[in-house]
Amino acid sequence: IPRADSQCLACGGPAVDVERQRELLLDLAKRSILEKLRLSQRPTLSRPVSRAALRAALQRLHGPPQGMLPEADGEQEYEIISFADTGLSDINQTRLDFHFSDRTASGMEIQQASLMFFVQIPPNTTQTLKLKILVLSSRDTNLTSATQHLLDVDASGWHQLFLGPEAQAACNQGHLTLELVPEGQGAWSSVILGGAAHRPFVSAKVKAGGKHRVHRR
Amino acid sequence: GINCQGGSRMCCRQEFFVDFRDIGWHDWIIQPEGYAMNFCTGQCPLHVAGMPGIAASFHTAVLNLLKANTAAGTAGGGSCCVPTARRPLSLLYYDRDSNVVKTDIPDMVVEACGCS
């Protein structure tokens, strides 16, 4: 809404009303951020995350060192933390569900994923934990690949297990379901899957449009 | 670069901070609290074309060109007030699955302006 009584300092034309200019700039800022994040609109949060879970996870989020410019090939990199929806699948197996629908929608590719979970053992003890991780295929409900892990635990804390290509493929299809099967004496009570501050999560590195990367020579 | 002050007409950087709380985005953007959406504004008369350019020599080269071509009426037209330095915007936000996402959006914050 140009104001006849004043002049735009920069271009000499009629100045735009200050309030109107502010609205235009705020609208431009919103569109610019959504476009760069490949979002059509701002997300509405479906499942709130507790501050305790967020704090615990952020301490493990290891982005590129501060000030590092994004990848030389100009593709934007993302780090994602997806908190598990946990449910008992049967007496000694816990099912963990992770959702990545936004990534698939915006054509991004998950490059590397790892499961983070908390292990609690009595002080001044050590424990060898045997864990089986089964990845549910998204096509049929039969369990697919299983990986076996042996953890030597000498203190309570977070543990990271790198997930294989099957789990990565499931993430790229938007939904990852893991079955966690602690095996051996006392293993079950050591793996903490409940409680806000110890909610297990998957940490993944994502690249925008990784599939059709053109390598510059 | 020069920051716009008062009635400055020359090419300068206008600071403009968008507080995410003001636009109701503070619930899904965890960090930072806002975005410095600075922009370049102002005039670039021919005698300042290329200033504060990337290097003084660039400015001198442009001036010499103008003198050599008595540029007053050249078809090439004037010079524009554009960003000469920008930095990424680091964002930490929730996506629609309530996943926490961290990314650096390149070239999102204008740090300095100059005449092309």
ipTM above 0.90, yes or no: no
Work out the minimum CA distance from A92 to partner chain B, whole angstroms: 27
More confident residue, A183 or B111: B111
**Chain A neighbors of B30, CB-CB under 8 A:** 54
Tell whether B5 lies on the interface with A, counting CB pairs under 8 A.
no
Quick one: average pLDDT of B26-47?
90
Q: Which pLDDT value is given to residue B110?
A: 94
Give the pLDDT score at A89: 55
More confident of the two residues A71 and B56 = B56
* A83/chain B closest Cα distance in angstroms: 7
Judging contacts by C-beta atoms under 8 Å, the chain A residues touching residue B16 are 25
Mark yes or no for CB contact A43/B94 under 8 Å: yes
Higher pLDDT: B21 or A9? It is: B21
Label each residue of chain A as H, E or C.
CEEEEEECCCCCCEEECHHHHHHHHHHHHHHHHHHHCCCCCCCCCCCCCCHHHHHHHHCCCCCCCCCCCCCCCCCCEEEEEEECEEEEEECCEEEEEEECHHHHHCCEEEEEEEEEEEECCCCCCCEEEEEEEEEECCCCCCEEEEEEEEEEECCCEEEEEECCHHHHHHHHCCEEEEEEEEECCCHHHHEECCCHHHCCEEEEEEEECHHHCCCCC
Predicted local distance difference test score (pLDDT) of residue B87:
95
Q: CB distance B37–A70 less than 8 Å?
A: no
Does residue B53 or residue B86 have the better pLDDT?
A: B86
Write down the pLDDT at residue A74. 59
Residue B108 distance to chain A (closest CA, Å): 9
Query: Looking at B1-5, B22-26, B45-49, B50-54, which range is the least confident one?
Result: B50-54
Task: Determine the residue of chain A that is closest to B39 in CA distance.
Answer: A25
pLDDT band at B86 (very low <50, low <70, confident <90, very high): very high
Q: How far is B9 from chain A (nearest CA, A)?
A: 5
The band of B56, judged by pLDDT with boundaries at 50, 70 and 90, is low
Interface list for chain A against chain B, based on CB atoms closer than 8 Å? 9-11, 25-26, 28-30, 32-33, 36-37, 42-49, 54, 57-58, 61, 63-64, 69-70, 74, 76-83, 99-102
pLDDT, one tens digit for every residue, chain A (217 residues): 555 567 776 667 777 788 888 999 999 999 999 999 989 899 988 788 888 888 888 887 755 444 444 444 557 788 999 998 876 555 567 788 898 876 665 677 888 899 998 888 888 888 888 888 888 766 655 656 778 888 888 888 898 999 988 888 888 888 888 888 877 766 667 777 777 788 899 999 988 764 444 444 4
Using CB atoms, pick whichever of B89, B101, B106 lies closest to residue A69: B106
